[in-house]
Chain A
Amino acid sequence: MLGKTRTLLLSAAVLSGALMGSSGGHAETALNALFMSQAAYSEDDVRAMTADFMKEHPDIKVNLEFVPYEGLRDKTLLAQGAGSGFDVVLFDVIWPAEFAQNKVLRDVTDRVTPDMNKGVLPGAWTTVEYSGKRYGMPWILDTKYLFYNTEMLSKAGFSAPPKTWTELQEQAKAIKQKGIVEYPIVWSWAQAEAAICDYTTLVAANQGQFFDSSGKPAFQKGGGLEALTYMLNTEVEGLSNPHSREYLEEDVRRVFSSGQAAFALNWTYMYNLANDPKESQVAGKVGVAPAPGVEGKTEASAVNGSMGLGITTTSKHPDEAWTYITYMTSKPVQEKYARLSLPIWAASYTEPSVTKGQEPLVAAAQKSLGLMFPRPTTPKYQELSTALQQAIQSTLQKSESPEQALQSAAQSAGGL
């Protein structure tokens, strides 16, 4: 019996020694990072960047996980709730308030160097800030642009894209009347965050507000109401593709790329994909401009759709995580992968490697990025967004008027 125990102990010791030996040899730190596989940088891009990083830092191993945007927030929160999981997470501009309040992300204000502070575009920082603190580094600098089919516009007799939303409506009417395309405008109005981004762009154009200075809902009147009324009007007039009500961004790209729309509102990544003959039937005919403004109010409009990289509070390797984040957001890396997402660095916009071949996009970006309008900064953003999505959808389904729909959304938002 004693002999048996001794053998058992001995083999356990040998086994644990072997295990320790195998991990102790490299002194390697393993980081788990969560990204999305949708819009902006492609999965291949992120894998390539990370592989380069690991070559430069052989002591750090980064395990990547990709989820669709729709699952990104829940995955982050649930991993946090379980007390383990990711060291580095990609987060949307609408989440820092919630993530800061629930202590999901680490405050990295002190880690940001003066050089970073100076070099990054001021608008980009708003992506990662809440209550005067920074919870990560901006990484994907993005807003919705107006894409247009240059051939369709010139067929209809227009030499330039619309400067105002009313002008866009007129151009679309002319295109429809001439039979160039049945539904000239395509949007992402599915019951999802995508619809809020389109709506916010229009709210910004109409100088609307989500909340007034006393914190009360204000989107049910003024610019907020005008924005939704505009959406409904283009639908009633048959200018907007009615299927927009079930489209997400990728559907918009597909419809525009197959030549079934003259105008589309979408993120940066669509520019190079719509101009890629392998992906698109309208390659070479894609124009891009800042989203229009409203006469007498604004010259152009933009929504802040940027995303950042942050360190979770549960991470045991915050220093290594920060090394990884600074690498991923560094100027050279961002310039190398500037085809699907434009850099956060001000100086990049004059670099030939960034601008070459996408001059119109960079020109539009230089105007739009300075105008980026935020969605409300509140820890209860998800509830507000869900109420607004419902209001937008019931208006577009014509079951409620814009006034009624926004009024009831404002009521539930007031109770938050």
Chain B
Amino acid sequence: MSVGWTGVRSWLLLLPLLAVMTLIIGWPLIETVRISFTDARLVGGESHWVGLANFSKVLASPQFHQVLWTTILFVLISVTAEVVLGVLAALLLDQQFVGRSFLRALMILPWALPTVVNATMWRLIYNPDFGAFNALLTQTGLIADYRSWLGETQTALYAVCLADVWKNFPLVALIALAALQSVPRELKAAAIIDGAGPLARFRTVTLPYLAGPLTVAIVLRMIEAFKVFDIIWVMTRGGPANSTRTVSIFVYQEAFSFQHAGTGASAALMVVLISAVLISTYVTMLRRQSEIR
């Protein structure tokens, strides 16, 4: 009886929050779904039911294929680099040395920076006339002339990826560092006594503790990277020659620049769908991890 009442009371207490969440998250989502089946425009005019026409139009569009591929490339390059750098940084910061706490605090800075600030900063670093990146590479003799890193199709996407990696690898590093601290000291000591080298120790002792949290970090970063908009919009606006145009920029241009709210919404829903797959992977992993514990 009392359990029943607790259940009812919990729901009652949750009700205001649920109502607010339905309003803030549910309603726009339902509206987006509704609009995606119509030929609605952003401003003015009536909208009509068009069934799945928007979805088939988007799926058949070579432009959508191109932006999808660019997005996947962006996700693969950025997340891989972030994970490798993040783990290396975490391993380093897990060692005992003077100034460790200071470095740990310092490392959070890039991650705490607003994306727009980070993007503007990297635009300046890449500036073809006075950018620090060009200065560094010419002064060390790696390139002969200043280059337009964001103005060339061959380099623009990688340049944006680097800016994204710089901002986001600290998140991976933080998660990895937390995991590293849960590795029992006795285990490490035992491995050393048994004569295991650094690589063998990393593989057999550290990695099993790192794997779970790291997968979570990877999935989180993938979801974020898949939706990327702001850093690209500020740095290149999708250029040069659409070489950095991602799915979110496609959605934005469809819905807002071209006022095709219908096709924009349907493309947005496809992004949601892909994100949902990633999120469900994330949740499954979280659950599996807690089961292990």
Contact = CB atoms under 8 A, between A and B. Distances in A.
Interface in A124-145: none
A380 B42 CA distance: 13
A212 interface: no
B43 A191 contact: no
A382 interface: yes
A102 B48 CA distance: 17
B44 A103 contact: yes
B143 to A, nearest CB: 14
Contacts of A363: none
Given A243-B148, A382-B258, A77 B43 contact: yes
A36 B151 CA distance: 25
A246 B151 contact: yes
A50 interface: no
Q: DSSP majority for the B interface?
A: loop
B150 interface: yes
B151 A382 contact: no
Contacts of B237: 70, 190-192
Contact of B148 (A80, A242, A394, A399): A242
Interface in A244-274: 245-247, 254-255, 258, 260
Contacts of B43: 77, 80-81, 102-104
A396 B153 CA distance: 10
A52 interface: no
A102 B45 contact: yes
B262 to A, nearest CB: 14
B224 interface: no
Contacts of B289: none
B138 to A, nearest CB: 14
Contact of A245 (B129, B152, B238, B253): B152
B259 interface: yes
A101 B150 contact: no
Interface in B24-59: 41-45
A102 B239 contact: no
A393 interface: yes
A246 B155 CA distance: 12
Nearest to A393: B241
A78 interface: yes
Contacts of A254: 129
A74 interface: yes
B11 interface: no
Contacts of A389: 239
18 contacts: A102-B41, A102-B44, A103-B44, A104-B43, A190-B239, A191-B238, A191-B239, A192-B239, A243-B129, A243-B151, A245-B240, A247-B151, A380-B258, A382-B258, A390-B241, A393-B241, A393-B242, A399-B241
A79 to B, nearest CB: 10
| Size category of the binding interface on chain A | 20 to 34
Contacts, number: 84
Given A191-B240, A393-B242, A77 B42 contact: yes
Interface in A80-95: 80-81
A393 B42 contact: no
A242 B129 CA distance: 11
Given A77-B256, A191-B239, A245-B240, 9 more contacts: A103-B44, A104-B43, A190-B240, A243-B129, A243-B148, A246-B150, A254-B129, A393-B240, A393-B242
Closest 7 A/B residue pairs (Cβ): A191-B239, A246-B151, A393-B241, A243-B128, A102-B44, A245-B151, A394-B241
Interface of A: 70, 74, 77-78, 80-81, 98, 101-104, 190-192, 242-243, 245-247, 254-255, 258, 260, 380, 382-383, 386, 389-390, 393-394, 396-397, 399
A74 B240 contact: no
A258 B129 CA distance: 11
A382 B264 CA distance: 15
A396 B239 CA distance: 12
Contact of A393 (B41, B128, B239, B256): B239
A397 B153 contact: yes
A269 to B, nearest CB: 20
A255 B237 CA distance: 21
B257 A382 contact: yes
A245 B242 contact: no
Contacts of A70: 237
A254 B128 CA distance: 12
A191 B242 CA distance: 8
A247 B236 CA distance: 10
Contacts of A101: 44
Contact of B128 (A98, A246, A258): A246
A149 to B, nearest CB: 16
A101 B43 CA distance: 10
Nearest to A400: B241
B127 to A, nearest CB: 9
A326 to B, nearest CB: 27
B6 to A, nearest CB: 32
Contacts of B258: 380, 382-383, 386
A246 B256 contact: no
Interface in B242-288: 242, 253, 256-259
B256 A397 contact: no
A135 to B, nearest CB: 14
Contacts of B257: 74, 382-383, 386
